[in-house]
């Protein structure tokens, strides 16, 4: 039986990777935009936007699953594949709601639709993450 990770890494075209990156960046930036709006702009809004966006980006890019067929270029904290799926869904929902509140409903719905399509197109990646076994504790 072929390894799903190898198939996914080889079969993901550049456009698919770029769409996924756009979903991740929008998911990290839209809560920052909402923070800007809530804080009223200015220096306080900028600080709030940077802080919220940094936390979202850290969760998107700093946490990775070893079973993920796509390389984690910036990942520093390994997690189980199923936890990574739940984390991504949670961040997408937060990003969509933030975009909806900061801008308008159509933008939030468009983002959520694009993220859903991105998930569906990348189904083999989800299968690889779902089949991941829990991370074993370090054995001495």
pTM over 0.85: no
pLDDT tens track for 94-126: 999 999 999 999 999 999 999 999 888 888 888
Q: Does any domain span residue 4?
A: no
Q: Does any domain span residue 122?
A: yes
Range of the structural domain that residue 85 is part of: 15-130
Structural domain count of the chain? 1
Confidence of residue 135 (pLDDT cuts 50, 70, 90): low
Three-class DSSP labels, the chain: CCCHHHHHHHHCCHHHHHHHHHHHHHHHHHHHHHHHHHHCCHHHHHHHHHHHHHHHHHHHHHEECCCCCCCCCCCCEECCHHHHHHHHHHHHHHHHHHHHHHCCHHHHHHHHHHHHHHHHHCHHHHHHHHCCCCCCCCCC
Confidence of residue 74 (pLDDT cuts 50, 70, 90): confident
């Amino acid at each position: 039986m072929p390894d799903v990770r190898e198939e996914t890494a080889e079969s993901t075209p550049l456009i698919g990777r770029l769409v996924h990156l756009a979903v991740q960046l929008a998911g990290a930036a839209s809560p920052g935009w909402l923070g800007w709006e809530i804080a009223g702009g200015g220096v306080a809004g900028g600080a709030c936007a940077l802080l919220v966006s940094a936390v979202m980006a850290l969760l998107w890019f700093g946490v990775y699953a070893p079973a993920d067929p796509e390389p984690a270029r910036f990942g520093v904290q390994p997690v189980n594949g199923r936890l990574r799926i739940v984390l991504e869904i949670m961040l997408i929902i937060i990003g969509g709601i933030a975009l909806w509140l900061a801008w308008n409903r159509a933008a939030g719905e468009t983002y959520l639709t694009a993220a859903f399509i991105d998930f569906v197109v990348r189904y083999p990646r989800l299968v690889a993450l779902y089949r991941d076994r829990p991370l074993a504790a370090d054995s001495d």
